[in-house]
Amino acid sequence: MYQTPINRVAAVAYCLLAAVVPSAAQPPVYTTLPPITVTAQKEPDDPQNLPVSVTAVSNEMLTLAALNSVSQAGWFAPNSFFNEFTARKLSNPRFRGVGASPTNPGVTSYIDGVPQLNANSSSIELVDVDQIEFVRGPQSALFGRNALGGIINITSGRPSLKTWTGSLIGPYGNFNSGDVRGTVSGPLKGDTVAVGLGFGYSARDGFTKNDVTGHGLDSRSALFGKGQLLWKPNARWEARAMVSGERARDGDYALNDLGALRARPFHTSRDVEGFTHRDIVAPTVHVSFTGSKIDFSTTTGFLKWKTEDLTDLDYTAQPLITRNNTEEDFQFTEEARFASAKAAPIVLSPRVALKWQLGVFTFTQNYTQDAVNNFSPFVLSQFLSFPVSQHSPKSALDDRGLGIYGQATFSFSSALDVVVGARGDREHREASLNTFFTPAIAPAVVLTPQKDFADVSPQFSVAHRVVPKTTVYGTVARGFKAGGFNAASPAGAEAYSEEHSWNYEAGVKTAAFANRLSASVAAFRIDWSDVQVNVPNPLVPAQFFIGNAAGAHSTGVEFEIHARPDPVLDLFGGAGFTHARFSDGSMSNGVDVSGKTLANMPSYTADFGVQFTHPLNGELALTARAEAICYGDYQYDDANTAGQSAYKLANFRAGVRGRHTFGEVWIRNAFDTRYVLVAFPYPGLAPSGFVGENGAPRTFGVRAGVSF
């Protein structure tokens, strides 16, 4: 049911009050918040100075909260939501209502400067990660394609050139969950060459029980690692090579009829127990030069991933339909960037200085898929007394593109920044789309379309530092998402068009009380046309394709606050409200959705947390942490046929920490909130018309670690 803004505010307030904040018995000894640097605009800067909404989740936060995935870090970014399945390959982020298919994401993840052009490779296990930035709002003027909703910027820890450091952390919990993650880095040759290594293994039993066999269905296991080599021959030049990889061997999807999931969570019935496998290898090379007047850098990325899954496609105990699906992708990206030296902007006059950056980006991507639906006798027709296999699709998508961008920042008297930027992108896409049956009960369909796409994305921003620690800003930006081809779709829907948006944002960022408190608030409006929607194919079970609706609009606000009133106490929190609706005349999969809420975007998000430390004798300290994570109601489909009501999660952990060791107990979803995180229409085979998956249940355990 739709909630009024007042009801939403009340719900957020209730959620935040649900967290208990410990009180400090002694007068506070004031300290400052740790400094934060982000690369949201492609070069390091203080987020307080940038005219953009960005949430930075630091390595300290990742470690203290035991955040092992990008979606968990997203708990702390307002107006961010991850529409994800138990199989880790399907995790689709949405910012402020903007999202899309995994094959053409609306929010693109960048891992060490390399864009994940298909979201199937973006939800990785985190090891040796220094920071995750959630940059909301169109970033097309700098990042081009598929940054219409924003970007997620993931950066690895930098190997140490000074001394050897390392850590080893291992939790264990219910569902037989075990995990070990370690890092080590240090100099190999003086202060010019350093090496870094990160590794990990995680596994757990399934949350969902298959009532046919009694087995856990959606288990998980993964082996992952990262290696780095850093060479810094002098103060100006630096080269850094990285190779990361992951071998995930997950169980089956935990999908079941939506009504059955709500009546009996974490149960399903399958005659076939499938699997989802994923392998990723990603080498990356960075080279940078810091000059007296010009800085230069290049990022070269290679990414190869492969997934294979088998599932019981009818999601029942009957032997009706199974699906074997294999996907492979190889992408190459290269970006060269020139910029004015960080410490030497161009002085245009005694009161005006100029900073600039120019860049060129090129990519190729080759994607293949072979999805085979296996129908038992008489399922397709009472006249077909033999099994039939349907390849839908057996396809290949080949893309190549070029982008050129530039940005200029004019600073007036060090108090006013005017930013002007734009990027031009051009792409060529080709496809080979094949659908056929074995045996051939119908003619095969073979298509080989190709098409070019081009766009220019401008941005204009003004940021005024009204006082040294307070910035007021406004931004107008155009967003762009490339068009393309569906690997499989109903006849006539093989291609989809580009999506465009105009984004208007105004905000205030401030730091106060000698940097013991920082806060930000932003208001936004998004108007976009030809909005891409990811909808189920009515002719093929569990298959989706991208179409275009006429348009949509989204308005909202968000705020964040971080405070350190006492050396032993950190407080943090935020909230976002989004009102995202389709425009009049919008059609989604043949249904009029005018005025309907965009799917999979909660009406609000909120988080509040506290980190408390009580010193003991020597170097020991007691620690406690509490988090409340809240999501408003949202719809599962564009027609708003079914949805999830508002829910909240509570996480707690407490333990003892020393200088080089720690031990703690933890619990997530402490009150065992039951909710269906993701669902989609499934007429004919699901009694309720939808199938879905439950969100994670209550988990708990112990965690210990050492460092040097």
Three state DSSP letters for 222-274: EEEEEEEEEECCCCCEEEEEEEEEEEEEECCCCCEEHHHHHHCCCEECCCCCC
pLDDT in tens, 44-99: 999 998 999 999 999 999 999 999 999 999 999 999 999 889 888 888 999 999 88
pLDDT in tens, 389-403: 999 889 999 999 999
Tokens of 508: 């205030």
Domain that holds residue 583: 5-707
Per-residue pLDDT, 366: 96
As beta bridge partners, residue 299 has 286, 335
The whole-number average pLDDT for the span 554-564 is: 96
pLDDT in tens, 489-538: 888 888 999 999 999 999 999 999 989 999 999 999 999 999 999 888 88
Nearest to 42 by CA among 342, 306, 274, 364: 342
Tokens of 359: 């860049």
Given a cut of 70, whether residue 478 has pLDDT beyond it is yes
pLDDT in tens, 571-611: 999 999 999 999 999 999 889 999 999 999 999 999 999 99
- Strand-pair category, 107-111 with 150-156: parallel
Nearest to 265 by CA among 223, 318, 211, 213: 211
Which residues have C-beta within 8 Å of that of residue 443, sequence separation ≥ 6? none
Q: Where are the alpha helices (H) located in 121-190, listed in sequence order? A: 140-143
Per-residue pLDDT, 55: 96
Give phi and psi for 444, each to the nearest 5: -75, 150
Given a cut of 60, whether residue 698 has pLDDT beyond it is yes
Q: What is the CATH number of the domain that holds 304?
A: 2.40.170.20
Q: Compute and round to an integer the Cα radius of gyration of the chain.
A: 25
Nearest to 481 by CA among 117, 133, 123: 117
Per-residue pLDDT, 19: 37
Q: How many domains does the chain have?
A: 1
Tokens of 379: 């399922």
CA separation for the pair 169, 147 (Å, rounded): 34
Given a cut of 70, whether residue 27 has pLDDT beyond it is no
Per-residue pLDDT, 4: 45
Per-residue pLDDT, 5: 44
Residue with tokens 């199989």: 87
Q: Break the chain down into helix, strand, coil percent, rounded to 5.
A: 5, 60, 35
Count CB neighbours of 292 within 10 A: 9
pTM, two decimal places: 0.93
Percent residues over pLDDT 70 in the chain: 96
What DSSP assignment string belongs to 354-414?
EEEEEEEEEEEEEEEEEEEEEEPTTTS-TT--S-EEEEEEEEEEEEEEEEEEEEEEEEETT
Per-residue pLDDT, 488: 83
Per-residue pLDDT, 638: 94
pLDDT in tens, 320-366: 999 999 999 999 999 999 999 988 899 999 999 999 999 999 999 99
CA separation for the pair 255, 273 (Å, rounded): 12
pLDDT in tens, 273-326: 999 999 999 999 999 999 999 999 999 999 999 999 999 999 999 999 999 999
Mean pLDDT of the chain: 92
- Strand-pair category, 499-512 with 544-548: unpaired
CA separation for the pair 479, 351 (Å, rounded): 33
